[in-house]
Amino acid sequence: MKHLLLGTAALALTATMALAQDVVRMGTEGAYPPYNFINDAGEVDGFERELGDELCARAELTCEWVTNDWDSIIPNLTSGNYDTIIAGMSITEEREKVIDFTQNYYPPTASRYMALSDDADLEGGVVAAQTNTIQAGHVAETGATLLEFATPDETVAAVRSGEADAVFADSDFLLPIAEENDAGLKLVGEPVPLGGGIGLGLRESDTELKAKFDAAITSMKEDGSLNELLIKWFGEDTSTF
């Protein structure tokens, strides 16, 4: 076993020499369409894939995509398993204490409830949300019983099966599902504005990388290409810069 470990380390060393330029590892969840998801070919796809590739091209970085469970996405960034989080993560004060964010590449938007019927009890019933999200935090503050799940898909499945009365998530994640209208799922209640938009998460020590990404986002905001991407993935009605 020791040999195997040493062998891997040696392999890693030789690989380093072969690859002189720096590789930036982009960590994402791969389960939150349209932000990021795994496509039929088994690759990371979605708004953030296209955006991330463009940002890396503008910042002249070589980027590689890595998927990680949402639950451990921040600890694995701080321990250095990858260099950025680009996973639809809203900029919040609590997260700012642990990691740094670039400026937002997605404007502050509303979160929505989705349920099977219009009269679902959003204030006193059972509401599903993904663990460690701003939505879960919000539900905990309302009178509703919070039902947490590890993946976004499971939160929606809980409403379908009747386990939860409603699901609370980013409206852009829920919209395509509600438009499908399978099993009668629809958006209910009023939109709730949450968070300060979505940014790239970075380790607090990586100030140089943060500056590069900030500059790339600024240039995409200025030439309008970011707005084009937003409209392409989230529709005409989405908020732009």
Partner 1 sequence: MFSYCTDPDTLDRIRWFSCYLTTGVHMNFYKSFGTVLLLLAVTAPVALAFGFIGAIAARSSILAISLLGRTYTAMVRGVPDIAYFLFFVIALDQALEWVKHRVVCPDWTEPVRQGANFLVCPAAKIPMGNAPQAIHEAYGFAIAVFTFAIVFGAFASNVLYGAMRSVPRAQLETAEAYGMTRRQSFWRILVPQMWVYALPGLSNLWMVLVKATPLLFLLGVEDIVYWARELGGTKTPRFTDYPHGDWRMWYFLGLLVFYLALTRVSEIGLERLMRRLTHGQATAGGDALRREGPA
Output the smallest distance, CB 221 to partner 1, in A: 26
128 vs 194 by CB, closer to partner 1: 128
**The two structure tokens encoding residue 51:** 């955006």
Q: How far is CA 145 from CA 118, 136, 166, 219, in A?
A: 18, 10, 11, 43
Output the smallest distance, CB 146 to partner 1, in A: 21
33 vs 199 by CB, closer to partner 1: 33
25 vs 221 by CB, closer to partner 1: 25
Pairwise CA distance, residues 145 & 122, whole Å: 9
49 vs 138 by CB, closer to partner 1: 49
Output the smallest distance, CB 143 to partner 1, in A: 29
Residues that bind partner 1 (CB under 8 A): 1, 4-5, 8-9, 11-13, 15-16, 19, 21-23, 25, 30-31, 33-34, 37-43, 45-46, 62, 64, 66-69, 72, 75-76, 78-81, 83, 98, 151, 153-154, 156-157, 160, 176-177, 180, 182, 203-205
* Pairing mode, strands 84-85 and 23-28: parallel
In degrees, rounded to 5, the angle at the alpha carbon of residue 100 between the alpha carbons of residues 42 and 208 is 90
156 vs 216 by CB, closer to partner 1: 156
Output the smallest distance, CB 122 to partner 1, in A: 22
Strand partners, 130: 149
3-class SS letters over 174-235: HHHHHHHCHHHCEEEEEEEECCCCECCEECCCCHHHHHHHHHHHHHHHHCCHHHHHHHHHHC
